[in-house]
Structures are given as C-alpha cells and as structure tokens.
Structure 1
C-alpha cells in the first residue's frame, strides 16, 4: 500500500478484512484558530466502516504540554479499542484545516505501525466525488495491537538543545512565517516569539494544491528546496504543538526522508526560559 492513496483506490478497497479506515480529524486548542467538534462531525457523516480516532484524548496525561505522545500501553489500548490490529492496513483521513491525519500517521509510525496511509484530499474530496458516506457511531470488534516505540521518530528538549551545538540534524518549522520570525506574537500566554536558532521555515499549507490534495514529486520537492532543506540529510520537524510538524514529516516521507519530530515543539521550547530563541528570517 502506498503512503498516499487515492479516493478511487479506497472506494475499491472498502470492506477488505484487513483494511481499517480512520477519521483523525482534530481541532487543536489554539487561541483564534478554527473551532470544530470532530466527534460530532464524524457521527454526522463519515466514510462507511471508518472509526474515529480521538487525538484530543490520545495524549500523555502526565504533562502540561499539549498533544504529547502517550505511553505505549495507552496507545496500544486505544488502537485495540478502535479495531486496529497488528496485521491491518490503516488509511487515515481528516477534515481539519491542520491536516491532522498526518499527526495520526506519525503516531502510528512512532509506535511501529508501518502499513499506514493518508487519503489524498481527505473527506472533502471523498464527499465531493460522490462516494458513499454514512452516519452514527461505529462499534468495531477489538483486535490485538502491540506498540513498538521507535525512538528514532521522536526528539525531546534535551536532544534539540544538543543539536544547537552539533547541527547534526536540520530543523524545519511548520508554523506560519510571521510566527516563525517573531513578527506575530505567539498565541499562547507565557510563550516567547520566534524560533529555534538555526531552524528553517516551511509553512505546512505550502505542501498542498489548491484543491486540498498533496503536492508530490517535483512540486513537493521544490517546497523543501525553497526552505533550504537537503532531504538527503537528517531532518527534524517542529511546529507549535507537534501537530502540523507531522505534515512536514509526511511530506518528507513521500520524498524518501524519514524525519524525526520534536514532540514538545514551540509549546515547550518557547515557554522554557533557558532555551535560546531567534527572531527574524531563517
């Protein structure tokens, strides 16, 4: 299964015993950002057989930081409850402006699940093309899911601080240009403006075509090139809270680079009085 799948491919595959379709819509609690009720939207309309992955609940409960990876046992239990098993193929979609299917993709990758894809164009394209939708809750049968944490997929504050000296990994920030440069204040109280010193900026929305599908091949590579990122070298992605950083990680994956993700992102770095901050262009 390709990492990015088309709507017509999914329409043909629906009902396969080893296929799990997952709605990973999420609206992060960012002041001034679009607000939605992902669970209610799912019950109102979703792809037949799909289940709802509640990313708001699927986070580490022992930290004040938003959206951090949960412990492996918590994640495994959640996947089992969604009917996702070790041998299953998983196709993710969303209807969020933050392209949150990418966060779900990265989480599954971080816990050792490799047969995972994103539906190109998401639910909007599926619906616009007249594919079937259904409503109501889904009650899948539990399946065994064993989580195998992949530490190479995740970076923490100490690792990011050490990278300031070594520059062993390129750092790419998915936030908008004004937040990156510090021209726009951070929306979170107590969080500084600016970016991690030495990092580059590629606003995540640049990875998509006007119709909401992903850029691919040369068009996608051109965006990383414009951000001065060498995809032949190690890469770490970051953003405000680890959500849209996953969009950049997935884009890099499509081009053969298995990027890591700084899970604490600017919510952690920008609020830490000891961390170095930079402002202005990259």
Structure 2
C-alpha cells in the first residue's frame, strides 16, 4: 500500500495498461453550474476510466442529496462497474469541488483500502499532456463485497453529542461567509451558520492553482493556524458531504487516516430547526 492517498499523473500514465488498476471519474458539479458530469465524461476522460455517479450510487430513500448508500446498493453499483475487492482504485474528477475525495472516502467507508486520488485531477492530467479518450470502456461485472467501517461515518445524533461534549474536533469545509452565516445557503430553506463548536477550514485553501494538494509543510502550517490537532479525533462537515472529504484526504496525506465524515452535513443540520447553530 502506498503511504499517501495521492498518486501523480506520471504514476497513473505508466499504469494505464495495468489490469489490476481501475480508474473512476467521480466528477460532480453543484446544481447551479448546469454542468452535467456524465455528459462531459462521454466527451473526454482518462483512457479506460469508468464513470462513478455519486448522485446515483446513494440511498435514494433519504431526503438529502447523495446520502451514503447501503452496503447492498454500493456492492451492486461497484460490481456493475466491474471493480473487484482486489483492484487498486484510482479516482479523479474535473470538478470545482474536488468530488473525487468523496468517492475515495466512500470506498474506504466500505472497507476498500487500496483507493487513491489522482493529484490535480483531469485538469493536471491535461496540463501534463497525458492521453485522453472518448471510448467507452468494456468490463465484466464483478461480485464486489463491502465491509462497512462505522468509525468513518457520523450521523446527526453523533454530531449533536460531539458538539455538546467536545469529544472530537468538528471541522467545516465551507467558505467562511457560509460558516459564519453571512451568505445564504445555496440550497433553499436552510438556516445559516454552523454547528456549535466547529472550526472552519475552507477546502479550497488546501489546493494550489493547478489543482494539486499543497505540500505537507503547507498543510501543516494551515492546520496550525486553525488550531486543528491531528492527534485528536476529527469529524469533517460541509454543505452536503462532498467537500468535507477533501479535508479527510489532506489529513490522510499528513498521516491521519481515521477522520470521520458527517454525511448529512449542513444540508441536514441546517434543516433541523430544533438543532442548535452558531454564527460567531
């Protein structure tokens, strides 16, 4: 197993013919952008990549977007993509919200440890002159078996207890204006603010202009500035459980692999009018 959750464009380009590596395009876009990730995938993608739709691989019985799927749903979807338990999975995206982190975390939540994110995503891949394809991959369905890891997942009840007891650091990946309630939420009907006791670390601060994650020293300095302690338990949150996973990815790059995600995030918490909020 690699010591980092990231792989480089050079590393992946040398492995394109490796039958034990599965490449997943996990692009996802905020609804207001009008971008259609599935359609963009058909127009261009890394050779051999398969499209993983986080809005389809979810528990649709829940009222919130892309809720974590049940084990059965995940197994069926991943089997249909031809992924086996023995495969090394490399996830990338072409998304402003770095959605590959969500699928990286989702595989880890389901017990798959051999999963990595392409550092810089499709943007860096193209900038580095790597090959691109419009071909649709053919693959044989598998019989994937998941093993849910409950320590990586937090519910609203968990978060209320953590907020009350301060048993873990809650780190919110949204921008500061949303965190402090100065900007209206993009989803209608949500209150503005944050979970009491949360710290704010906008996910965008973790990335360089070329889309790659900042150096370990830069990340360490950012966490020190925000008083985030990697030696203590951490749960990350965001708008709908996508960008929170970027924080977990960066923490893993620094050696912390046990960050949990609040799946419902602010879409859920902000809609619960009997749950407390802060704006300071």
Common fold by TM > 0.5:
yes
Residue of structure 2 equivalent to 1:109: 108
Q: Name the CA distance, whole Å, in 1 between partners of 2:26 and 2:186.
A: 24
Alpha carbons 1:239, 1:245 under 8 Å: kept = yes
Secondary structure at 1:236 match in 2: strand
Q: Name the CA distance, whole Å, in 2 between partners of 1:187 and 1:19.
A: 37
Q: TM-score, normalised by structure 2?
A: 0.96
Residue of structure 2 equivalent to 1:21: 23
Could you give the per-residue CA deviations for residues 154-203 of structure 1, whole angstroms, max 9, x where no partner exists? Answer: 00011111112211100000000000001112222221000000000000
Residue of structure 2 equivalent to 1:268: 268
Q: Name the CA distance, whole Å, in 1 between partners of 2:187 and 2:87.
A: 39
Residue of structure 2 equivalent to 1:180: 179
Q: Name the CA distance, whole Å, in 2 between partners of 1:219 and 1:52.
A: 32
Number of matched pairs: 277
Segments of 5+ residues of structure 2 without an aligned counterpart are none
Measured after TM superposition, the shift of residue 120 of structure 1 is 0.8
Q: TM-score, normalised by structure 1?
A: 0.96
Q: Name the CA distance, whole Å, in 2 between partners of 1:17 and 1:142.
A: 14
Q: Name the CA distance, whole Å, in 2 between partners of 1:91 and 1:265.
A: 25
Residue of structure 2 equivalent to 1:217: 216
Could you give the per-residue CA deviations for residues 114-166 of structure 1, whole angstroms, max 9, x where no partner exists? Answer: 00010111111111211111103223211221110000000001111111221
Listed as ranges, the matches of 1:30-69 within 5 Å are 33-69=32-68
Greater CA drift, 95-104 or 57-66: 57-66
RMSD: 1.0
Secondary structure at 1:20 match in 2: strand
Measured after TM superposition, the shift of residue 221 of structure 1 is 1.4
Q: Name the CA distance, whole Å, in 2 between partners of 1:121 and 1:189.
A: 32
Segments of 5+ residues of structure 1 without an aligned counterpart are none
Secondary structure at 1:92 match in 2: strand
Large movers: runs of 4+ above 3 Å: none
Residue of structure 2 equivalent to 1:131: 130
Measured after TM superposition, the shift of residue 22 of structure 1 is 0.7
Q: Name the CA distance, whole Å, in 2 between partners of 1:74 and 1:180.
A: 32
Listed as ranges, the matches of 1:163-178 within 5 Å are 163-178=162-177
Alpha carbons 1:216, 1:254 under 8 Å: kept = no
Q: Does 1:207 align with 2:206?
A: yes
Q: Name the CA distance, whole Å, in 2 between partners of 1:146 and 1:128.
A: 36
Alpha carbons 2:27, 2:100 under 8 Å: kept = yes
From 4, 9, 12, the equivalent of 2:11 is 9
Alpha carbons 2:123, 2:210 under 8 Å: kept = no
Alpha carbons 1:192, 1:270 under 8 Å: kept = yes
